[in-house]
Amino acid sequence: MYERFSSVMFAVCMRYSHCRDDAQDTFQEAFIKAFQKIDSYNGDGSFEGWLRRIMVNKCMDKFRSKRLTIVTDNPQIYQEQELEEEEEVELPYSNDELISTIQELPDQYRLVFNMYVVENYTHAEIAESLNISVGTSKSNLSRAKAWLRKELKKKYVKTNIA
């Protein structure tokens, strides 16, 4: 089990962590939990999905244990930003550079971003899981996207001054 899924599951932990050491700690704790709870897997759905859920839950546990503040905003902010059309721009950065930049997101933004974009949670599920409002989840996702756009452009887009 470890040999088959370790690289994929470690990547999950890396997306939620600021650094490799934090990801390794979470990864180890989650695998231990998976081994302890292996008898609870009943065959519904894929085993990889079951294991991924344990990894994500352990990442959320770490987040909660740090007692980080989830930014609460005026709900109009995300509503206004949703109305704006997203600019489609091809940026010259690799997947590794993108992941590295995602890891630099402030914790509350990174958690919501990963849960929504990568793990396909709904805002209602995120809100329930993190004990925040749906509006806060949407606002944090919007802010995460804006922060990522700004940082990626700053790091990887060369501006030509005429």
Instruction: Tell me how far apart the terminal alpha carbons of the chain are, to the nearest angstrom.
Output: 56
Q: What's the pLDDT at 155? A: 79
Are residues 80 and 148 located together in one domain of the fold?
yes
Domain of 109, CATH number, reads 1.10.10.10
Residue 6 contacts residue 15 (beta carbons within 8 Å): no
- pLDDT grade, residue 90 (50/70/90)? low
Are residues 80 and 149 located together in one domain of the fold?
yes
Residue 158 scores a pLDDT above 50: yes
**Mean pLDDT on 138-153:** 91
Are residues 89 and 120 located together in one domain of the fold?
yes
Are residues 152 and 121 located together in one domain of the fold?
yes
The 10s digit of each residue's pLDDT in 10-45 is 999 988 888 889 899 999 999 999 999 999 998 888
Domain count, the chain: 2
Output the CA–CA distances (angstroms, integers) from residue 109 to 1, 35, 39, 46, 72, in the order listed.
31, 30, 34, 28, 11
Q: What is the pTM of this model?
A: 0.68
The 10s digit of each residue's pLDDT in 100-115 is 888 889 888 998 999 9
Average pLDDT over the chain, rounded to whole? 81
User: What percentage of the chain exceeds 90 in pLDDT?
Assistant: 41
Residues of the domain holding 111: 75-156
